[in-house]
Structure 1
Amino acid sequence: MEVTFKTATNSDRNLLLTLTKEFYQLEHLTYNVEVLNKCFDEVFSNDNLARIWIIYADREPAGYLVLTFGYSLEFHGRDALIDEFYIRETYRSQGIGKQTLEFVKTTCQNLGIKAVHLEVNHQNTRAKSIYQKAGFVEHDRYLMTNWIDREK
C-alpha cells in the first residue's frame, strides 16, 4: 500500500469537513462547521500556526493530521502538537499510523521543531502503544484546559 501525504489547501475543505466529522463522532467531540471553517481559514492563510495533511492510501483519503506550532523553554525552542490525527477504520492496522508518525518526525526535523507532543485518551491503549513505539513518552502531569472566550 502506497501512503502519501498531501498538504491540505482551501480546495480540500469539503473533504476535511467530512474527515473531521467522522473523527469528532468517534471521539465524542463537538462538531461545529462554523468554528472549523474559521480555523481552516486561519491555518490556510498562515502556515506558521499549523499545517494540515490529508493521508492517502493508494490515492484514497485514509485520514488527516493537524500539526500546530508553539514555543517552549522546557523543550528547548520551537515545539509542535499533533492536534488531530485520524485514520479511517478501514485503513487501520495497516502501518499507516506508523508511517504518519515517521512523516511527522521528518517534517518536524526539517522545520527546526525540537519536540512534538500529542494527547491520547487514557482508554485508547492501542494508540498509546503505537505512540510509545514511535518514541513518545508519558509525563507525570495532567493536561489541563481553560477555555478563554470559548466559541460553541
Structure 2
Amino acid sequence: MSAALTLAKPEHLNSIAALCAAFHAEEGITQTDETRRAALEPLLGGSPYGVVYLIGPARAPIGYIVICFGWSVEFGGLDAIVDELYIRPGVRGRGIATEALIALPRALSEGGLRAIHLEVDRDNAAALKLYRRAGFAPREKYMFMSRVL
C-alpha cells in the first residue's frame, strides 16, 4: 500500500470530511460536521494558512495530513504544524504514516519551509515511536500550550 501524498483540492472535501469525522470520533473530539467542513474548506482552496494532503490514492484515500503554516524567528522563517494525521484503522501498522511523514518535508521544502512541528501525547508510546522514526525529536525544555478563544 502506498503512502503517496496528493495535495487535496475542493473536490476532495467529502472524502476528507469523512476521514476527519472518523479521526475525531476516535480521539473524542466533539465537533459538528458543519464546523469541521468549514475548517477544512479554506485549506482545499489555496488558503495561505495551510494545506491538506491525501494519503494513498486520491479517489480512495486511506488517510490525510493537515498542515498549518506559521512563521518562526527561532527557526528562520516559514514553519508548519502537523495539525492532524489520520490513517484508516484497517491499514495501520504497515509503515504508511512513517512513509507519509518522511515524504512531507520533500513536499513542502520547495515553499521555503524551515521546520515542521507536531503535538503528541507523552504517554502514547506508539505515536512517539512513529514520530521519532520520521525524524521528529522532542524539545525537552518546551511544552506546547493552548488558549482557546
TM-score, normalised relative to structure 1: 0.88
More strand by proportion, 1 or 2? 1
Match of 2:145 in 1: 144
Contact 2:67-2:82 at 8 Å conserved across structures: yes
> Alpha-carbon deviation of 1:12?
1.2
Contact 1:49-1:69 at 8 Å conserved across structures: yes
> Alpha-carbon deviation of 1:59?
6.6
CA gap 1:109/1:83 in 2 versus in 1, 3 angstroms: same
Percent identity between the two aligned chains? 30
In 1, distance between residues paired with 2:38 and 2:59?
28
> Alpha-carbon deviation of 1:129?
0.7
In 2, distance between residues paired with 1:14 and 1:59?
11
Deviates more, 1:41-50 or 1:8-17: 41-50
In 2, distance between residues paired with 1:70 and 1:11?
26
Structure 2: segments with no counterpart, 5+ residues: none
One-letter identity of the residue aligned with 2:40: F
1:115-140 deviations in Å (ceiling 9; x for gaps): 00011122211111111122211122
Contact 1:79-1:116 at 8 Å conserved across structures: yes
In 1, distance between residues paired with 2:60 and 2:130?
23
Contact 1:72-1:78 at 8 Å conserved across structures: yes
In 2, distance between residues paired with 1:112 and 1:126?
30
Match of 2:46 in 1: 46
> Alpha-carbon deviation of 1:41?
2.9
Deviates more, 1:60-69 or 1:37-46: 37-46
One-letter identity of the residue aligned with 2:147: N
TM-score, normalised relative to structure 2: 0.90
Moved over 3 A (4+): 57-60
Q: CA RMSD in A?
A: 1.8
The number of aligned residues is: 148
